[in-house]
Amino acid sequence: MTGEVILKVEDLYKRFPAGRPGIWSGTEAFVHAVDGVGFELAKGEVLALAGESGCGKSTLALTLMGLETPTNGRVTFHGEDVTHLNGKALKAYRRRIQMVFQDPYESLNPLMTIEDLVAEPLVVHGIDPDAASRRRRVLTALSDAGLKPPESFMRRYPHELSGGQRQRVVIAGALVLDPDVLLADEPVSMLDVSIRAEILNLLWELCETRGIAVLLITHDLATSAYLADRVAVMYLGRIVEIGSTLDVLEKPAHPYTQALLSVVPVPNPRRRKERVILQGAPPNAIHIPAGCRFHPRCPKVFDRCAEIDPVLQEVAPGHQAACLLNC
């Protein structure tokens, strides 16, 4: 990590109330969706956030977008505290941080032309009210997103485009505002394998040429390996391992990361390997297990794991893991 830090998250918590407390029950229950997360994102960097469904990756993204208010913690953007923004300031912040959603088949309004779809963020933010210059901006965004020649797409409707082209339209809609950060929530999981690489390479180009920082949210470690500079592995609302992509993938220090890596299919039948299949699903985030939150599913569990909640500790320079085995 060399560049200037754009986004900094410190000890972020997001709880959702889980049902109203009964008259007699006394304590209120909460879903601990994000439970103490901290990381930094630098200019032009790709950070992958990996984990199973329900580990809190998407809640974290929504909180960063200001779509959910954090229960606790701090988010700073270019050194400014943006944790509790509202009104105009929130709108101005959102212009700098844009989201690319998972499903390009559902995130585009079928009744709008590509031009209107990509121009809408400009309308919302009141940028360039002049029709001609707005059109120019839309054309540039489409061509930056790899839809060439952009003129041929302007009057078309989403149903006329393939899945890969639609995802490019979604990316163009984010690019048109010239953001500093893209939050990409599973940007390729709905696409065919043959076109995934195109979209990943496009995101990579945007980081290289425009210095956009990308937070890539995914459950697929293989995808993140191709794009990300660093990988953070989340389990039950907390980052359990973070480090450079090569370090995390080649020398995973947390048993959860090791298990996740062992089940990534390898496209070579001669390399069939021992899979560490964790049984069941992650426990429910209302009752987080005492001690290490991963201990009930951990293949390497020992007696102290049920008592001590490990914190992130350095296992190598720039590589941290939260596991008692590394202490």
Residue 321 pairs with which residues in a beta bridge?
241, 313
Tell me the site size for another protein, rule CB under 8 A: 40
Q: Is 268 in the site for another protein (CB under 8 A)?
A: yes
Q: How far is the CB of 171 from another protein (least distance, A)?
A: 15
**Taking CB under 8 A as the rule, does residue 39 contact another protein?**
no
* Among 87, 110, 193, 317, interactor with another protein by CB under 8 A: 193
Task: Identify whether the C-beta of residue 42 lies closer than 8 Å to the C-beta of residue 213.
Answer: yes
Please choose, out of 32-40, 75-83, 137-145, 253-261, the segment that lies near another protein by the rule CB under 8 A: 253-261
- Contact indicator for 51, 219 with CB cutoff of 8 Å: yes
Q: By CB under 8 A, name the one of 119, 176, 236, 260 that touches another protein.
A: 260
From candidates 7, 141, 216, 221, binder to another protein by CB under 8 A:
221
Q: Choose which of 263, 286, 290, 306 interacts with another protein (CB under 8 A).
A: 263
Q: Which of 138, 259, 322, 323 binds another protein (CB under 8 A)?
A: 259
H/E run at residue 262:
helix 255-262
Q: Which of 33, 48, 17, 5 is nearest to 188 (CA)?
A: 48
Across the chain, the runs of DSSP E, i.e. the strands, are 5-17, 30-42, 46-50, 72-77, 80-81, 97-100, 181-185, 213-218, 230-235, 238-244, 313-316, 319-321
> Residues 84, 148, 155, 275: which binds another protein (CB under 8 A)?
275
For position 159 contacting another protein by CB under 8 A, the verdict is: no
Counting contacts by CB under 8 A, is residue 18 touching another protein? Answer: no
Please, which residue, 125 or 219, has the CB nearer to another protein?
219
How large is the angle between the packed helices 131-144 and 114-124, nearest 10 degrees? 110
168 exposed, middle or buried (CB, 10 Å; 0-12, 13-18, 19+)? buried
Which range, of 8-16, 68-76, 170-178, 218-226, touches another protein by CB under 8 A?
Answer: 218-226
Distance of alpha carbon 90 from alpha carbon 88, whole angstroms = 5
285 neighbors 32 (Cβ within 8 angstroms) = yes
Tell whether residue 222 is a contact of another protein (CB under 8 A).
Answer: yes
Q: How far is the CB of 198 from another protein (least distance, A)?
A: 4
Residue 201 interacts with another protein (CB under 8 A)? Answer: yes
Kindly state whether residue 162 participates in binding another protein, applying the rule CB under 8 A. yes
Residue 228 near residue 46 (C-beta atoms within 8 A)? yes
Question: What are the two backbone dihedrals, phi and then psi, of residue 106, each rounded to the nearest 5 degrees?
Answer: -115, -15
Which residues are near another protein by CB under 8 A? 52-53, 162-163, 192-198, 200-201, 219-223, 225-226, 246, 249, 259-261, 263-272, 275, 277-279, 281
